[in-house]
């Protein structure tokens, strides 16, 4: 996410049109077997909160109300699949599920001068950041990819930030 933030701040992508987030894990059965976890907003509170944190970090607070497209309880009493969006500029689309049998994170960002794609989080395995540069009027874009294979590279910094907020809200 830090690389994406730096890319956005550089201005090289131009106007951001649309961002799609997908965050999934396979914890539906674990949640169902835990009465305190299988309550309330379910996957929206569990995984959606992270997507909203990343949105605040990357774009700030959305200025329009969210639209809910799907809210399912396939295997749980609480939501185990949720899909919503903010239809502003950029258009932000979020899908999260506890029914993804392999932990999955994807982000697709489409902008005036290209796109960025993030596949996976380091905590689950190799994480790939791909930037494509738009070719006008059309054509195959130039593409640069960086793959990280490491433990979560931002966990310590996030934890220290959290402690600072606790000390000085």
Is residue 66 a contact partner of residue 85, using CB atoms and an 8 Å limit? yes
Report the phi/psi class of residue 71: left, alpha or beta, with left for phi > 0 and alpha for psi in -120 to 50. Answer: beta
pLDDT of residue 18: 98
Is residue 63 a contact partner of residue 74, using CB atoms and an 8 Å limit? no
pLDDT of residue 74: 96
Domain ranges of the chain: 2-167
117 pLDDT above the threshold of 90:
yes
169 pLDDT above the threshold of 80:
no
Mean pLDDT, the chain, whole residue set: 92
pLDDT per position as a tens digit, 127-164: 999 999 999 999 999 999 999 898 777 777 778 877 88
81-88: average pLDDT: 95
101-120: average pLDDT: 96
104: helix, strand or coil: strand
Radius of gyration in angstroms for the set of CA atoms belonging to the chain, rounded to a whole number: 17
CATH 3.40.50.300 fits 2-167, yes or no: no
pLDDT of residue 100: 94
Q: What is the pTM of this model?
A: 0.88
Q: Which residue has the higher pLDDT, 19 or 40?
A: 19
């Amino acid at each position: 996410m830090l690389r994406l933030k730096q890319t956005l701040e550089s201005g090289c992508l131009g106007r951001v049109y649309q961002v799609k987030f997908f965050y999934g894990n396979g914890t539906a059965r674990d949640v169902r077997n835990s009465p305190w976890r299988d309550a309330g907003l379910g996957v929206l509170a569990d995984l959606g909160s992270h997507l909203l944190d990343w949105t605040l970090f990357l774009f700030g607070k959305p200025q329009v109300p969210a639209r809910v497209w799907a809210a399912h309880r396939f295997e749980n009493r609480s939501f185990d699949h949720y899909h919503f969006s903010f239809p502003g500029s950029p258009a932000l689309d979020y899908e999260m599920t506890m029914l993804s049998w392999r932990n999955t994170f994807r982000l697709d960002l489409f902008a005036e001068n290209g796109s960025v794609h993030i596949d996976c989080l380091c905590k689950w395995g190799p994480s790939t950041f791909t930037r494509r540069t738009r070719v006008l009027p059309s054509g195959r874009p130039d593409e640069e990819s960086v793959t990280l294979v490491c433990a979560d590279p931002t966990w310590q910094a996030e934890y220290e930030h959290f402690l600072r907020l606790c000390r000085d809200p």
